[in-house]
Each structure stands twice: as C-alpha cells, then as structure tokens.
Structure 1
C-alpha cells in the first residue's frame, strides 16, 4: 500500500512544483516536506521505540499536516490535492490502529 501512496504523493508534489515552482507554492511544498518528516518519525516512535502515546500524537500531527497540504495544494492544482486523499484515508486508518494497539498493549507500547 505504501508504494502506491508514495507514488501518488510524489506525483502530487510534482504537479504543484511543475505548475508553480518553489517560489509560487513555497508554503504548500514546505507543508508537504514537513508531513514527510513527521511520517518518518512515526515509524521510529511506534516500531523502534515502542512509544504508543507519542506515536499517536505524531500521527495526529501528521493527519493535520496532510489535511493542510491538501488545502494548500488545492489552491495550486486540484488534481494534486485529490491525489493525497487516499494517503489521508490510510493515515486515518493507521491512527485507529495505533490507538487500538496502544490501548491493548500498554506494557509494550508505554
């Protein structure tokens, strides 16, 4: 699933960059880069460090950054924004899983 999502995400950012460049869509592209960093951090928090609560906070921030990126991309390229909707849906599902696993395994995901 992540392979498909990353292709959609990359295509989305490329469409915005191609239409407006960094000078015309700087805020939107910075939001995109910020969500990539937060996305990468989640894997470390949850899988490597077993910090369920912090991973949940991280994924909540990720959700907000993706939503903000969608809004920002919409202003520059509507198709680019729509390409991020499956990503937002998947992160919503992952957030529910994160919460459930954290609640069911407090000794492991403290």
Structure 2
C-alpha cells in the first residue's frame, strides 16, 4: 500500500490516489445499493396501510443505516479488489456482485410488487449470500470480511422485520 509519508511510527496512511479510489468504491456501492429506492419505499401509500411490528424503526433510520453499511461494503470491496489476482479474489468479487443483485432486488420485490412474501424469499437468499461473501472475503482479506459483519447483522434484522410484516398482513 502506498503511504503518504506519515511521521508517526507504525502508521501507514493511504495516499491521496488511494483515498480517491476508496471513495470511488464507496460512491459506486452507495449508488448501486440506493438505485432501487426510486421504485418506492416506506413513503408509499400501500406501505402506509400495512401493519408493522412493534420494533419497526423510525423511517429515517433506514437511509442512515444503509448509507453507513454501503460505505463499509465499498471499503471492503476496495480491499478485496486491490488484492493480488487469485482464484479466491475472483470468487470473492463474484460473491459480492451476486449478493448485491439480491440486495437491489429486494426493494422491487417488496415495494414494486407489493409482496412481503416474495421479498422474504429474496432477503432469505440475500442472507445466505452475505454469509458466503463474508466467507469468500475472509479468504482474501480478513479486515474486508469483518467490515461485512454489520451488514449481516442488519440483513438478519431486516429478515425478521420482513417476516413479521408478512405475518401481520
């Protein structure tokens, strides 16, 4: 990793170019992850009529949490992308892309199709894919894998939330 010439012993700071690349990955993942939001969301008339469980968070929390999670995902993706070319790296990158497809697919399934049941299937598959992505990332970069753990925790919570909305309605 390039350093910026930090004067503190043992601290390697990323160079300006590397920071720009990291920022590019973070922006890309946030754009891809947030793209499905144009389909609709918690502000839709259909969603407003649904019964929600007692533990449903305030609506504003979703945007904050997803932005933070997509930022962590972008950093993790960058760390794997910059690793030496290997079969493990290719598998990890492929796993990341596949789980992102399911992540993005959840919004159209839930809000677009107005189907908590179909969305529950999508998010259950997403959960499995996130576990697989963490495993694949760990084989390339342990820090990148650790950066995905909050995402797995949130997807776990979202799965329970999706299930309860489906059950209640």
1:70 counterpart = 2:129: no
Structure number with larger C-alpha Rg: 2
Greater Cα shift, 60-69 or 16-25: 16-25
CA offsets 1:16-47 (integer angstroms, 9 cap, x no match) = 11113476611110010011110010011111
TM-score (norm 1): 0.91
* Cα deviation, residue 6, structure 1: 0.4
Unpaired runs of 5+ in structure 1? 106-110
CA distance in 2, matches of 1:31, 1:90: 18
CA distance in 1, matches of 2:79, 2:111: 32
Instruction: Provide runs of 4+ in structure 1 moved above 6 Å.
Output: none
TM-score (norm 2): 0.60
Higher helix share: 1
What are the equivalent positions in structure 2 for 1:12-51 lying under 5 Å apart? 12-21=76-85, 25-51=89-115
Unpaired runs of 5+ in structure 2? 1-64
Closer, same or farther: CA 96–103 of 1 in aligned 2, 3 Å: same
Determine which structure has greater relative contact order: mean sequence separation of CA pairs < 8 Å that are 6+ residues apart, divided by chain length: 1
Q: Is the 8 A contact 1:22 1:29 kept in 2?
A: no
CA offsets 1:38-95 (integer angstroms, 9 cap, x no match) = 0010011111211111111110110011000000000110000000000000000000
